[in-house]
């Protein structure tokens, strides 16, 4: 006799990272983006085969490393030594010898043996006080990651290899992994970690994949092949939904699609306030391919082109020609519309595979963005030359990230001039007559805004990092995600301060952090004097709709009121009460 199984529907709540809803089967992947490493026994007669499989993966890794070294451009040569060291480490007794021994002695699969050996090595090196040894430890970990990818790649699947429509469930996804997601295969994704404004979430929005991040411990409930609903708009995940829930969500999907279609239909209307003030609503992109969606959603230009993804997806640095060609694709599609090319903002949470293997204890405060570029002028120069060249073909601006003081912008500008001179000497077509801006995303830049204003044509406020650094909230950490509050009075005062300085110095004032994509914040930004708001492309239509529903005068009066309270909750309530009704935030009820 069969019993009707009782529905075991479970609702999990995480961070709403990318809107939309999907229903599908869970596909669990591990921390490295490959299937969770499982332990299994190897019989005596198959041990040799298993060791051979490990050796093959090591050989493949060695070939890969040599391939990178040989094909790397001139300005990458300095890093070649590190890769050569990595190639030598492949046969290191501690790694190579011990893994083979573990396979033999414990009769386990190569992945498991490697994992065990590496965690022992990690523990051993982490406890050492000598920098040299710690670095050697991180080199070994780096090399073992490559071997692991090759091992797993031979028999199991990785993100790129998933061949059915699934919902990706991962402990964590790096921005580089997220950008490799194939839209036709992945319907949505869920992670244990990740916080508000993390780059992983930002990419999910650009890809228009519903995503819920930062599920924390609840994450463990989800099993491979479970039927799940991802409600990216509400930040909810429903595991094993009942029939009623499934029907309710099918309806929600329909309503969401209708809402999106309505918004998209009006996306091409300009963003003009009731009292005739025009705002430019721009798109943020990570990859040149995304430029089309900026136009489709009615964007007036690119307010932030995050160029680092070209460096994340390949093991070697891109050449000047490769960069130029990618930038040219964007320029060609955008016609005369402005394109703000931000120089390389790698590291932080966007570690590059070409790194020197050093694991930074505090990457957000480490060798990131402009700091990295100024330390590696050759790599920076390659990008600057590509930007100067493409500026001859379109309406380009340059934007320098993570500026913390005036010396950095002066040095960056000096290198920009040097790059222009070198192009002139080489007789290559270029244009250096374009707007130069700094991102205001470090608190010291807010304080020094009056000095920075003398050096540039525009400010672009990066609220994602400004909030992270000012409130000391790791933007990628779900534990503190509830404290990540754009309407914190400290943030509002900083924005107002920078806006006043921009106005006094006749500087253009833009914003490209996620804060710009929240329609409820738009009245405040308008009142402060922002002329351009840039955001993930799919938010453009709703923000434009908000602009068309408000007037500058009214917003200015309201801003005065909002700057008075000192409690975040009161400010949030004031904003919700005043502007919430203009836009039905519950988009499902449209």
Active site residues: 199, 512
Q: Pick from Mg ion, ligand PEP, none: which does 412 bind, CB < 5 to 8 A by kind?
A: none
Q: Select from 178, 463, 517, 539 the one that contacts ligand PEP (CB under 6 A).
A: 463
Number of chain positions touching Mg ion (CB under 5 A): 3
Q: Looking at beta carbons only, is 146 or 306 nearer to ligand PEP?
A: 306
Label residues 66-101 b or e (16+ Cβ within 10 Å = b). Answer: eebbeebbebbeebeebbebbbebbebebbbebbbe
Q: Are 231 and 187 in contact (CB under 8 A)?
A: no
- Choose the stretch contacting ligand PEP; rule: CB under 6 A; options: 182-190, 247-255, 458-466, 578-586: 458-466
What DSSP designation does 32 have? Answer: T
**Does 465 sit near ligand PEP (CB under 6 A)?**
yes
**Does 462 sit near ligand PEP (CB under 6 A)?**
yes
Binding mask 409-448 for Mg ion (x = CB under 5 A): --------------------------------x-------
Helix (H) or strand (E) holding 213: strand 211-213
Task: Dump strand ranges (E) for 404-549.
Answer: 436-440, 458-461, 508-511, 532-535
- Residue 67 has φ and ψ, to the nearest 5°, of -60, -45
251 to 270, contacts with ligand PEP by CB under 6 A? none
User: Taking the complex as a whole, how short is the minimal distance between the CB of residue 562 and ligand PEP, in angstroms?
Assistant: 21
Label residues 501-535 b or e (16+ Cβ within 10 Å = b). Answer: bbeeeebbbbbbbbbbbbbbbbbbbbbbbbbbbbb
Binding mask 333-352 for ligand PEP (x = CB under 6 A): ------------x-------
Q: Quick one: CA dihedral 140, 142, 147, 152, positive or negative?
A: positive
Q: Looking at beta carbons only, is 357 or 462 nearer to Mg ion?
A: 462
- In the bound state, the residue with its beta carbon closest to ligand PEP is 462
Binding mask 460-479 for Mg ion (x = CB under 5 A): --x--x--------------
User: Taking the complex as a whole, how short is the minimal distance between the CB of residue 308 and Mg ion, in angstroms?
Assistant: 11
Q: Looking at beta carbons only, is 465 or 532 nearer to Mg ion?
A: 465
**Does 513 sit near ligand PEP (CB under 6 A)?**
yes
Helix (H) or strand (E) holding 212: strand 211-213
Q: Select from 34, 159, 399, 512 the one that contacts ligand PEP (CB under 6 A).
A: 512
Residue 105 to residue 91: CA distance in whole angstroms: 19
Q: Pick from ligand PEP, Mg ion, none: which does 206 bind, CB < 5 to 8 A by kind?
A: none
What DSSP designation does 560 have? Answer: H
290 to 319, contacts with ligand PEP by CB under 6 A? 304, 306
Two structure tokens written together for 479: 């534990």
**Does 35 sit near Mg ion (CB under 5 A)?**
no
Helices in 90-187 by DSSP H: which ranges?
Answer: 98-106, 110-126, 131-155, 175-179
User: Taking the complex as a whole, how short is the minimal distance between the CB of residue 513 and Mg ion, in angstroms?
Assistant: 7
Two structure tokens written together for 314: 């390949």
C-alpha distances in Å from residue 247, one per residue of 24, 210, 236, 590: 14, 19, 16, 18
User: Taking the complex as a whole, how short is the minimal distance between the CB of residue 340 and ligand PEP, in angstroms?
Assistant: 11
User: Taking the complex as a whole, how short is the minimal distance between the CB of residue 214 and ligand PEP, in angstroms?
Assistant: 17
Q: Looking at beta carbons only, is 192 or 441 nearer to Mg ion?
A: 441
Q: Pick from ligand PEP, Mg ion, none: which does 513 bind, CB < 5 to 8 A by kind?
A: ligand PEP
413 to 442, contacts with ligand PEP by CB under 6 A? 441
Number of chain positions touching ligand PEP (CB under 6 A): 10
- Choose the stretch contacting ligand PEP; rule: CB under 6 A; options: 240-248, 411-419, 457-465, 492-500: 457-465
Q: Pick from ligand PEP, Mg ion, none: which does 301 bind, CB < 5 to 8 A by kind?
A: none
- Residue 208 has φ and ψ, to the nearest 5°, of 60, 45
Q: Looking at beta carbons only, is 301 or 513 nearer to ligand PEP?
A: 513
Spatial neighbors of 368 by CB under 8 A, at least 6 apart, are 345, 346, 347, 348, 402
3-state secondary structure 270-316: CCECCCCCECEEEEEECCHHHHHHHHHCCCCCEEEEECCHHHHCCCC
User: Taking the complex as a whole, how short is the minimal distance between the CB of residue 495 and ligand PEP, in angstroms?
Assistant: 12
158 to 177, contacts with ligand PEP by CB under 6 A? none
CA dihedral of residues 415, 463, 546, 572 (deg, nearest 10) = -170
Q: Pick from ligand PEP, Mg ion, none: which does 463 bind, CB < 5 to 8 A by kind?
A: ligand PEP
Q: Pick from ligand PEP, Mg ion, none: which does 149 bind, CB < 5 to 8 A by kind?
A: none
Two structure tokens written together for 489: 């009075």
- Residue 396 has φ and ψ, to the nearest 5°, of -100, 145
Q: Are 312 and 347 in contact (CB under 8 A)?
A: no
**Does 208 sit near Mg ion (CB under 5 A)?**
no
Q: Are 291 and 569 in contact (CB under 8 A)?
A: no
Contact positions toward ligand PEP, by CB under 6 A? 304, 306, 345, 441, 462-465, 512-513
Contact positions toward Mg ion, by CB under 5 A? 441, 462, 465
């Amino acid at each position: 006799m069969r019993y009707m199984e009782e529905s075991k529907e479970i609702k999990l709540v995480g961070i709403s990272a990318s809107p939309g809803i999907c229903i599908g089967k869970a596909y669990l992947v591990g921390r490295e983006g490959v299937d969770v490493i499982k332990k299994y026994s190897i019989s005596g007669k198959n041990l040799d085969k298993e060791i051979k499989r490990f050796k093959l993966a090591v050989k493949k890794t060695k070939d890969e490393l040599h391939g990178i070294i040989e094909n790397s451009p001139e300005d990458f040569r300095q890093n070649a030594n590190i890769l050569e060291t990595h190639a030598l480490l492949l046969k290191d007794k501690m790694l190579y010898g011990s893994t083979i021994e573990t396979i033999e002695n414990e009769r386990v699969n190569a992945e498991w043996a490697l994992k065990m050996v590496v965690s022992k090595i990690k523990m051993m090196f982490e406890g050492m006080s000598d920098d040299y040894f710690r670095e050697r430890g991180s080199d070994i970990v780096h090399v073992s990651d490559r071997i692991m990818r090759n091992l797993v790649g031979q028999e199991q699947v990785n993100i790129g290899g998933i061949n059915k429509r699934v919902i990706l469930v991962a402990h964590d996804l790096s921005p580089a992994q997220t950008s490799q997601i194939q839209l036709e295969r992945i319907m949505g994704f869920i992670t244990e970690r990740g916080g508000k404004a993390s780059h992983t979430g930002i990419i999910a929005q650009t890809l228009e994949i519903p995503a819920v991040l930062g599920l924390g411990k609840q994450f463990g409930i989800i099993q491979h092949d479970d039927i799940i609903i991802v409600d990216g708009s509400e930040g909810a995940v429903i595991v094993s939904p009942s029939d009623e829930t499934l029907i309710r969500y099918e309806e929600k999907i329909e309503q969401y699609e209708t809402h999106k279609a309505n918004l998209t239909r009006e996306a091409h209307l300009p963003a003009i306030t009731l009292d005739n003030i025009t705002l430019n609503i721009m798109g943020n992109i990570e990859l040149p391919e995304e430029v089309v969606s900026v136009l489709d959603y009615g964007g007036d230009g690119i307010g932030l082109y995050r160029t680092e993804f070209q460096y994340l997806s390949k093991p070697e640095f891109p050449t000047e020609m490769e960069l130029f060609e990618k930038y040219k694709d964007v320029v060609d599609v955008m016609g005369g519309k402005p394109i703000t090319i931000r120089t390389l903002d790698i590291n932080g949470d966007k570690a590059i595979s070409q790194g020197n293997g050093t694991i930074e204890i505090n990457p957000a405060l480490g060798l990131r963005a402009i700091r990295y570029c100024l330390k590696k002028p050759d790599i920076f120069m390659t990008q600057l030359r590509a930007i100067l060249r493409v500026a001859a073909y379109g309406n380009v601006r340059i934007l320098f990230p993570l500026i913390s003081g005036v010396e950095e912008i002066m040095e960056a500008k000096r290198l920009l001039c040097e790059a222009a001179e070198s192009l002139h000497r080489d007789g290559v077509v270029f244009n250096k007559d374009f707007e130069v801006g700094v991102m205001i995303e470090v608190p010291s830049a807010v304080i020094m805004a009056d000095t920075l204003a003398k050096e540039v044509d525009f400010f672009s406020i990066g609220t994602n990092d400004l909030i992270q650094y000012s409130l000391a909230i790791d933007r990628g950490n779900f534990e503190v995600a509830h404290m990540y509050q754009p309407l914190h009075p400290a943030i509002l005062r900083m924005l107002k301060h920078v806006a006043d300085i921009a106005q006094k110095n006749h500087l253009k004032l833009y914003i490209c952090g996620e804060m710009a994509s929240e329609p409820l914040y738009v009245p405040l930004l308008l009142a402060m004097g922002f002329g351009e708001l840039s955001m993930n492309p799919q938010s453009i239509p709703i923000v434009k709709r908000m602009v068309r529903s408000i007037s500058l005068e009214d917003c200015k009066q309201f801003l005065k009121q909002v700057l008075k309270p000192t409690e975040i909750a009161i400010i949030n309530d004031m904003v919700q009460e005043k502007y919430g009704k203009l836009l039905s935030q519950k988009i499902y009820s449209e």
